[in-house]
Amino acid sequence: MPVPKGVNLAMLMPIDTLVFDFERVGFEPPHWGFEINKDGHGRYYVKGKPTEANPSGNDWHDVIVGPQTLEILMQGVTKVGAGKGCETKAKNIAQTGKKKLSYVCSDVWWICEFNYSDDEGVMKAANAFQSMAETIQIGEKLKHNLRYDRLSLDAEMDALVEEVKSGSAIEVQNIAPVLQSLIDDDRVMERVKRKAGRLLEGAGIAVKQIP
């Protein structure tokens, strides 16, 4: 039966929380993940060393996922509960990172671990999670460079613009405060400000002009 017009497919699925965990040694950060509720609100985390003050070791960031991306994620995680496993049976597949895709429904937790899956929906969901993470990780670089290396902001923004165009970086609203801080800072080059403004506008976010 087709979904009624105006109804988000994700909201019809019996899922409370969907989770993605990614680990690849040698990358920075090497271990991160997402916990997303079915309304699109959730958290991104970077795994760190546990401390007394932070037993999980996680550094958390609030995120919001738009309806189109959320539907891709939901369609992917529903394949996890099919009981067939996610990992491909093909041999000699390049190692692109240890991935865990799972969801929580009431008190049931389905989980699937894989490097590469033959299921198109699972791979689309994994790629979307990775593209969201790419946006947030570039946002962290921009925040760092604004403080310590402003000359590198131009090249970093060029890279972000190209990744957004190609779909390698998505859900730009999750780094809106960082982009706005570039616009607000008198020390930042005008062309960097313009790029930040266009990215915000492309994400449907009004640009706050400097008083």
d(CA 121, CA 127): 10
Taking residue 165's Cβ as centre, other Cβ atoms within 10 Å add up to: 10
Exposure on the CB side of residue 9, measured as CA atoms within 13 A: 13
**For residue 5, is pLDDT > 70?**
no
Dist. CA 210–CA 12, nearest whole Å: 43
Cα distances from 105 to residues 14, 43, 102, 128, in angstroms, run 6, 18, 10, 21
Which two tokens mark 108? 């049931």
Contact partners, residue 84, CB within 8 Å, separation at least 6: none
DSSP structural state of residue 152:
G
The rounded distance, in Å, linking the Cα atoms of 76 and 120 is 8
How does pLDDT run across 66-88, given as a tens digit for each residue?
999 999 998 888 777 555 678 99
Please state the pTM of the whole predicted model: 0.88
The per-residue pLDDT for range 110-148, each reduced to its tens digit, is 788 999 999 899 999 999 999 999 999 999 999 999 999
